[in-house]
Amino acid sequence: MKRFLLLLFGLGLGFAAGAFWFYQSLPAWSEAARELEQPVVIKLDRGTRLSEFARTLEQEQLIDHAPRFRYWIKFYRDYGRFQAGQYRFEGSVSPKQIVATIESGKTWQPLELQYVVPEGFTLKQIIDRLVAHKVGTKTELGALAKDPELLRKYNIKAENVEGYLFPATYSFVKMPTPRQAFEKMLDTFFVQLPPGIEDELAARKLSLHQGVIFASLIERETQLDEEREMVSEVIWNRLKDGEPLGIDAALIYGIVDYQGDIKTVHLKDGKNLYNTRIHKGLPPGPIGAISMTSLRAVLNPTRLGYRFYVLGTDGTRQHRFSKTMEEHTVYVKQLIQASQKP
């Protein structure tokens, strides 16, 4: 304000009044947003003069008036706080938002790689996705997945990293090596791991690894958050009673070159250690990437007496849960009949 008053000193009254109005209008102008037709990337080099940068913003249609921007900065902001770098803007932006971004130094770099790991994805599927994005070969990634040094670094007490590659979207500004890609997924898993979860699992007589195995079963059995704790109850009840879990997602995981159809030979295959129709207890390892929602569901099963579940007949992903074999059998028959309808 002091700078502006000095500027007015000595000017004619009419001109001074107009200049004062202009000064007062700048804050409102700075907050007026404009909609960008497409994302805009600009670069601020060290030593760039304010007038030159203001013209760049106007040319890129980020602002509508370079002189107004220049005066607003001179009177209300500090150009010396702007940080050099490349910035990206999209959607609705105002001069004030643009300046806040540049002052924060939140620069933008184009992504070299981005890929998604969905919930429930197996290690094999993740490796296939990395290979498709030219991050290593199957042989290289397969060896890395069971590398003793990598397992030791993350204190994973298992044969490989199955279950610990966290489902999320991963972005890299430089093409990662296979190890960098794996470590980013593993780092994300342990960052997302709820504090105290290992103690809570231990109170349930489960190690972290057993908790991950349990959670992976829940993850593959239902995609609905509201069902996770119910599936957890069914698994807990079967474990408690010493009954086979009968989870076909685990059975399928253990079938080499599964072709999409469970056959009688698969159901009777005792050599498949993931055949939970035969082998009791948890399978020997996780069967896919887990969400923390499924891991929490391990510790928070419902207490509704559920012992069975089967897919519903309404064409949705919902399951029908039951407390008795008789009720479960009815639901199974209804599903078979619905699947046979043309």
Strands 85-89 and 40-44: antiparallel
State the Cα–Cα distance between residues 10 and 40, nearest whole angstrom. 42
pLDDT at 21: 58
Spatial distance between the Cα atoms of 211 and 230, rounded to a whole number of angstroms: 16
Q: What is the mean pLDDT of residues 101-109?
A: 93
pTM of the model: 0.76
Q: Select from 111, 129, 208, 110 the least CA-distant residue to 167.
A: 129
Res 3 pLDDT > 70: no
What does the pLDDT look like over 27-60, one tens digit per residue? 999 999 999 999 999 999 999 999 999 999 999 9
Say which CATH number the domain at 58 has. 3.30.1490.480
Q: Return the percentage of the chain with pLDDT > 70, whole number.
A: 93
Our count of domains for the chain comes to 4
Query: Which of 62, 85, 104 corresponds to the end of one domain?
Result: 104
Range of the domain at 317: 307-342
Q: Are 206 and 153 in contact (CB under 8 A)?
A: no
Q: Region 251-278: what's the mean pLDDT? A: 92
The residue count of the chain comes to: 342
Q: Which residue in the block uniquely carries the two structure tokens 């199957």? A: 138
* pLDDT tens-digit map of 141-170: 999 999 999 999 999 999 999 999 999 999
The rounded distance, in Å, linking the Cα atoms of 229 and 287 is 18
Instruction: With respect to residue 139, please indicate whether it lies within any of the assigned structural domains.
Output: yes
Which among 65, 85, 104 is the end of a domain? 104
Dist. CA 147–CA 191, nearest whole Å: 21
In a domain, 257, yes or no: yes
Distance (Å, whole) CA 95 – CA 74: 14
Query: Is residue 9 in a domain?
Result: no
Mean pLDDT on 72-79: 93
For residue 11, tell me if it sits in a domain: no
Instruction: Please write the tens of the pLDDT for every residue from 92-103.
Output: 999 999 999 999
Question: Does residue 202 share a domain with residue 302?
Answer: yes
**pLDDT above 60 (res 334):** yes
Where residue 200 falls among pLDDT bands split at 50, 70, 90? very high
